[in-house]
Amino acid sequence: MTAPFVIVGGDAAGMSAASKAKRDDPSRDVIVFEKGSWVSYAACGMPYYVKGTVDDLDDLVAMTPETAREERDIDLRTGHEVVSINRDEQTVTVSTEEETFEQPYGELLLGTGARAIVPPFDGIDREGVFTLRDMDEAGEISDYVETTAPETAAIVGGGYVGIEMAEALTEHGIDVTIFEMLPRTLQPFGAETARTVEDHLREQGVDLRLETAVEGFTGAETVDAGDTVDAVKIEGDDEPVPADLVIVGVGVTPNVDLAEDAGLELGPTGAIATDEFGRTSDESIYAAGDCAEATNVVTGEPDHVPLALTANRAGRAIGATVAGEPTRTGGTAGTAIVKAFDLGAARTGILDPERAREAGFDPESVTIEAPTRPHYYPGARDLRVTLVADRESERVLGASIVGREGTKRIDTVATALHASLTVTELQNLDLAYAPPFSPVWDPVLTAAKVLGGTLEK
């Protein structure tokens, strides 16, 4: 008999691979080992659970363990941690609370994800200091807000988690301060979009402190409070900033220890190196999701983009490959969108001029403002669109969009990146028009038209 298809990790990449492999080859045994208790959950929804938009953590689960086992015939085992890989024997060592055993595999998929970066801040272990990377942490934060009713909160990091959690905590009447050590928030979104978001955060009452490095966290000086956090210490400032709750959201790092210990190659980003089919340096082992690299569609080079669609798509492709139909995992443009109170901010491709030049391009960009509907139709909102292209080839390199509606238009530019379109080709796309939805010249087309004129000079 063929040895089972074994998967390490039961979230986006792992469960997508398991479902696809089992669907395409029902006779194949598929085993998923997940060290935690949650599987197939929407991590992107966790801030909205804390906010109260999502009523129950279980609502974020796409597929329960029972569904996987009973309806999809997947041998899913929670509470099972894979602690080592024996490539010569093609086995993995699995540990539970009761036992440790060896499991043979025919093909192995590593979907070990990523973990929150936890800087060595003084007081990082105090009660009331959290990261937000998994469902248990989301539950803990929500419970803490409900039981302790904090009045002030500090968020360390101005990325996706920081922006979304600022909105979530403000909804509970908490005064929020964001600390960002860099000159702006939302680094991958470009300066224009970041400034627009920052102005809006301040309008919503968020205390935004840019170019401010956190040193650590102090604790309450009362016996009853114990080691509970009460303030944030800032480098170079003797006056701590009050905080009854702290969220540390400074980024993630791929979980590659298992792969590295097994001698698998890591790529230049520090994630697991893979080929176009998701194979690692061992042809019987695959990797996908937040632990693995993907090919950037703009540069053609390895990139590490820990986003949900990248993980789901790669996992599904690997499942098809294992079932007998070789399928490429697809590239990434780093397309992302984030809600910041009443604003949406979206990005795709390369926006940073220095990164573009390092990739061999000569970047040129424009930023325009255009309405989401004709001037005569009610409800029009301005969109700010930044579009970047290579001066020599006129190839579109990236874009960022920010506004109160219509930011999903970023998908048009993401499609252009995957197709390697020029600015003129983007400008000439036949996009839908009707007054309730768009002006004749969609804001993306307007940006392409203006950038095309700039490139002609």
| Catalytic center residues | 44
CB 74 within 8 A of CB 30: yes
Phi, psi values for residue 205, rounded to 5° = 95, 5
Q: Distance (Å, rounded) from C-alpha 343 to C-alpha 320?
A: 38
Q: Rounded to 5 degrees, what are φ and ψ at 389?
A: -140, 165
Pick from 29, 40, 5, 74: nearest CA to 289 = 40
Catalogue the E-assigned strands of 294-391: 294-295, 302-303, 336-340, 343-349, 363-371, 382-390
Give the DSSP H or E segment for 153. strand 152-156
Count of alpha carbons within 13 angstroms of residue 395, beta-carbon side = 17
**What does the alpha-carbon distance between residue 419 and residue 298 come to, in Å, rounded to a whole number?**
10
Contact 290, 254 (CB under 8 A): yes
Rounded to the nearest 10 degrees, the angle between the axes of helix 160-170 and helix 191-203 is 20
DSSP string, 79-133: T-EEEEEETTTTEEEEE-SS-EEEEE-SEEEE---EEE-----BTTTSBTEE--S
From the list 154, 130, 248, the residue with the least C-alpha distance to 207 is 154
* Cβ–Cβ under 8 Å, residues 91 and 103: yes
Phi first, then psi, for residue 142 (nearest 5°) are -60, -45
**What is the distance between the alpha carbons of residues 110 and 191, in angstroms, rounded to a whole number?**
36
Residues 212, 229: Cα–Cα separation, whole Å: 19
- Is there a contact between 403 and 193 (Cβ–Cβ < 8 Å)? no
